[in-house]
Structure 1
Amino acid sequence: MARLGRSFGFLLSATALSNLADGVLKVGAPLLALTFTRSPVQVALVGAAATLPWLLLALHAGALADRLDRRRIMVLANVIRAAVLMAVAVLGALGLMNLWIMLVAVLLACVSEVFADVSAQSVLPMTVAPAHLTTANGRVVSTQTIGNDFAGAPVAGLLVTLLPAAVFGAPALLYGAAGLLLLGMRGRFRPQPENTGPRLPDRHPRPESTSSGTGRRSMAGDIGEALRYLWRHRFLRTLAVSAGLLNFASAAYFGVLVLWVVGDGSRIGLDPAGYGLVMTALAVGAVAGSLVSDRVVRLFGEGRALAGLWLISALLHLVPVLLPIAWLLYPTAVVWGAAGAAANVLVITARQRLIPAGLLGRVNSAYRLIGMGGMPIGAVLGGVLGEFAGLPAVFLSAAGVCLAAVGLLWRVVPDRISSPLTSDASIPDISRSRSAPKGLR
């Protein structure tokens, strides 16, 4: 941790607390909804409330992250969601909670999450040296996985049983503590105009960056600039589309996987506890993969590592349908989680290195809209296809889409994804031969 700096330590600690809160809220809110209604539509509204802010506000959150101090945005977002959730916890303790109050609370908390998460990814390159980005992102992703998947779920289940109001009260305290920890980060974290680049704390060298002059134009102009940048950058554009295809297919796949795996009438026949262990194995692999991602890069290079990891994930979609053996699911899940998390670290690091500092928040947001926007559609289409054509059709189709995404990426990925570009005019057209052009080396 010493080589990553004191500010990164505060950022990582705040990430741990806020993601533990995310895990409790993500699992606890749907469970709590079941105490108010058994309607599938009404319960599904909890998930809709959690994802809707990303579709509506991601681009605006990115624009603000490129205009204002990113650390202050994160602090304010944590304070707001802490206050909202604590107020709802008080209502719950007084017996005044209902489904609609809970939905409003989840919606407002997730609005704050959009602004906090966009700023968090954009502030990291201002906190650590460029050479340490892969290592830093690996630690962040592993911390997020532990909070969301390992600790959050069991804590939420316990709170729903013992003290339902604490499903909101505990995350409120965690978000508040995360906001306080962020105050320990030293330095300025606002993108600087006129090509001065960000001011890096903790004695790290300042990389060259491109300023967008965000203070001199409208927010619509800022967002338009980011969309144009992403569209003109062949590698980032292709990466976003490929990630969108992967997430679309994975949403369809995992939306119905439980029907194939769990129950007496399923093909594999695990009980719910066994399926929970499969998800735990997936999380174990994710933590391991995020921590060794920098070693994978040193062995194979950034471009080959990313394409190879995505290829492994695509092929693993076939294992449950071609080899429906219960015990085989566990090692498959470990490898699956490791490949997915390691690839995620490389993708985040690539964006942080390639996108100029003054555009990072907005282009990240545009990327995530493309990369994640198709997930609800994929889940619905997976259910429809499974209903009319059978579950194997869903699994094989998802694997095919994932392989197509890998092929699309392979045509443009450079062997090395390294230093940031120095100006909008230098956006390269990456060679189909996969050799990195001069602008990226």
Structure 2
Amino acid sequence: MGRSFRYLLAATTSANLADGVLLTGAPLLAITLTRDPALVSLAGVATTLPWLLLALHAGALADRGDRRRIMVVTAWARAVALAGTAVAVAMDALSLPLLLAILLISGACEVFNDTAAQSVLPMTVGKDDLGRANGRVIAAQTIGNSFVGAPVAGFLAALAPAALFGAPALLYTAAGLLLLGMRGRYRPATVSTAPLRQDIATGLRYLVRDRRVRDLAVAAGVMNMCSSAYLSVFVLWAVGEESVIGMTAGQYGAVMTVLAVGAIAGSLLAHRPARRFGEGRPLVVLWTVNGLSLLLPVLVPTVPSVYVTGLLLGATSAAGNVLVVSFRQRIIPEELLGRVNSAYRLIGMGGNPLGAALGGVVGGVAGLPVVFVGAVVLCLTAMPLAARALARTPEPVAV
């Protein structure tokens, strides 16, 4: 892996550290503007809503233009927006509508940046190095978002609230500058001149017709929905004197650190079994362990079992993500990669809000164990679908 990948990795690290600071810092500023829970929750909505609204368009544009340039422009657009917001905070002129508007702008830039990033990586390394390269990128994302970003945001909030936007602005600026160090071609060799809507339809049609990608997307969507349902109510099982496990808030917070450790290890090691066995068998094993590990705190309701589960979830989720992303990058044609990736992520991640809602409803009506066991059973039902997808031999797909 050469110069271009090293610059891409450095830019990814800088941008994800900015993401981590902003993800934690925005709610901290929101509660200084309002104590209404519904209004505070809008900060999270504003950050994630652009994925539902713009993902398909971002994929189509990534297949038309210079993917590195898209990343540079979106990094600097976020830097400008956040720098202006930092000035507003320093002048005590920040309002909730302004905060939400800035988070929407930043979220929209993230959609275009991340979609282009997944599509540009195969243009910087060979196919044999995709697993190792994706592992390093996902490890950098985990470190920035989970390990470093959150504590840095807490420090900045106490030191100077304006820095919660100023620091990410500098980091996004640095990310854009690092991307300029990449050398090579980052525009697809074949570029469509059809209307944007037709390009989006082509990407969706490819996903539907390629059973490997489609089956993986459905399996990932089922697993994400189940995990979301489980995690939405697990805190009631784990934390507090009335809970089954009886963890303190501090102990529960440490689970995220353990999960991040597992994620870094899993992302860095995932390419090794893939080199020997291919993506298929390792991915099915990882996803099966991921689903079964959710049973551990239910069958053995102790604090250590929660930490073991966190470690397993982090490692298997990250390693599985490396294998799936590498598989898609290897089989999807370069000129369609942005569109198909964005369509895949809509299906794969679309079950998260549904799962969270179902977890709350089912837990209230039937009890928490029903949610937990049901989530595991549904996760396991997705395994044959994933195995079938990865067992298929490569086949041409007409679009």
TM category (shorter chain) comes to over 0.9
Aligned sequence identity (%)? 58
Runs of 4+ aligned structure 1 residues displaced above 3 Å come to 298-301
Which of 183, 187, 210 is matched with 1:186 structurally?
A: 183
- The one-letter amino acid of 2:38's match is V
Whichever residue aligns with residue 43 of structure 2, its letter is V
Structure-1 residue corresponding to 2:18 = 21
CA distance in 2, matches of 1:299, 1:131: 12
Per the alignment, residue 59 of structure 2 pairs with 62
**CA distance in 2 between partners of 1:399 and 1:376 (Å):** 18
Q: Distance in 2 between matches of 1:100 and 1:385?
A: 35
Which residue of 2 is the match for residue 47 of structure 1? 44
> Who is 1:356 aligned against?
333
Q: What does 1:183-332 correspond to in 2, within 5 Å?
A: 183-193=180-190, 213-215=191-193, 217-332=194-309
Q: SS in structure 1 opposite 2:389?
A: coil
Q: How far apart are residue 38 of structure 1 and its match?
A: 2.0
Residue deviations 1:284-340 (CA, integer Å, cap 9, x gap): 000000011011223443200011100000001111111111112222221221111
1:407 aligns with 2:389: no
Matched residues in 2 for 1:352 and 1:300: separation? 18
After TM superposition, give the deviation of residue 229 of structure 1 in Å.
Answer: 0.5
Matched letter for residue 260 of structure 1: W
Output the CA distance in 2 between the equivalents of 1:74 and 1:171: 16
Q: Identify the residue that residue 4 of structure 2 maps to in structure 1.
A: 7
Tell me, in whole angstroms, the C-alpha distance in 2 between the residues paired with 1:89 and 1:341. Answer: 33
Determine the C-alpha separation between the residues in 2 that align with 1:16 and 1:385.
39
Residue ranges of structure 2 left out of the alignment (5+ in a row): none
Residue 119 of structure 1: aligned partner: 116
In 2, the alpha carbon distance for the partners of 1:389 and 1:98 equals 42
Q: For 1:253 and 1:306, locate their aligned partners in 2 and report how far apart those are by CA, in whole Å.
A: 21
Correspondence 1:384 to 2:344: no
SS, match of residue 240 in structure 2: coil
Aligned-partner Cα distance in 1 for 2:24–2:235? 17
Corresponding position of 1:431: none
- Return the alpha-carbon distance in structure 1 between the equivalents of residues 237 and 156 of structure 2: 30
Q: 1:374 is paired with a residue of what secondary structure? A: helix
Q: CA deviation at 1:28?
A: 1.3
1:415 deviates by 7.8
- 1:233-291 residue CA offsets vs partner (Å, 9 max, x unmatched): 01110000011111111111112222211111211111111112111111000000001
Instruction: Provide TM-score, normalisation by structure 2.
Output: 0.97
Q: Which residue of 1 aligns with 2:134?
A: 137
| Amino acid paired to 1:306 | L
Instruction: Provide the secondary structure at the position in 1 that maps to 2:391.
Output: coil
- The residue number in structure 2 matching 1:167 is 164
The range that moved more, 293-302 or 311-320, is 293-302
In 2, Cα distance between the equivalents of 1:112 and 1:302?
A: 31
Letter in 2 for 1:62: G
Q: Is the 8 A contact 1:282 1:333 kept in 2?
A: yes
**What CA distance in whole angstroms lies between the structure 2 residues aligned with 1:32 and 1:94?**
14
Q: Which moved more, 1:296-305 or 1:20-29?
A: 296-305
Q: Greater share of helix residues, 1 or 2?
A: 2
CA shift at 1:103, angstroms? 0.9
Check conservation: 1:10, 1:184, Cα contact below 8 A. Answer: yes
Q: Is the 8 A contact 2:210 2:397 kept in 1?
A: no
* C-alpha contact (below 8 Å) 1:24/1:156 kept by paired residues: yes
Of the two structures, which has the highest relative contact order with CA contacts closer than 8 Å and spacing of 6 or more?
Answer: 2
The residue matched to 1:97 in structure 2 has which SS? coil
The one of 71, 80, 84 aligned to 1:83: 80
Q: Partners in 2 of 1:34 and 1:398 — Cα distance?
A: 33
1:293 aligned partner, one-letter code: A
What amino acid sits opposite 1:98 in the alignment? S
Distance 2:38 2:364 in 1: 18
Shift of 1:176: 0.8
**CA 1:424–1:415: 2 relative to 1, 3 Å:** closer
Superposed CA deviations along residues 76-121 of structure 1, whole A, max 9, x for unmatched, are 0001011111101100000011222111111100100000000000
1:97 paired residue among 94, 102, 112: 94
Structure 1 residue 410, shift from structure 2 partner: 2.1
Q: Distance in 2 between matches of 1:91 and 1:412?
A: 51
Matched, 1:372 2:369: no
Measure, in 1, the Cα distance between the counterparts of 2:385 and 2:397: 24
Alignment partner of 1:67: what SS?
A: coil
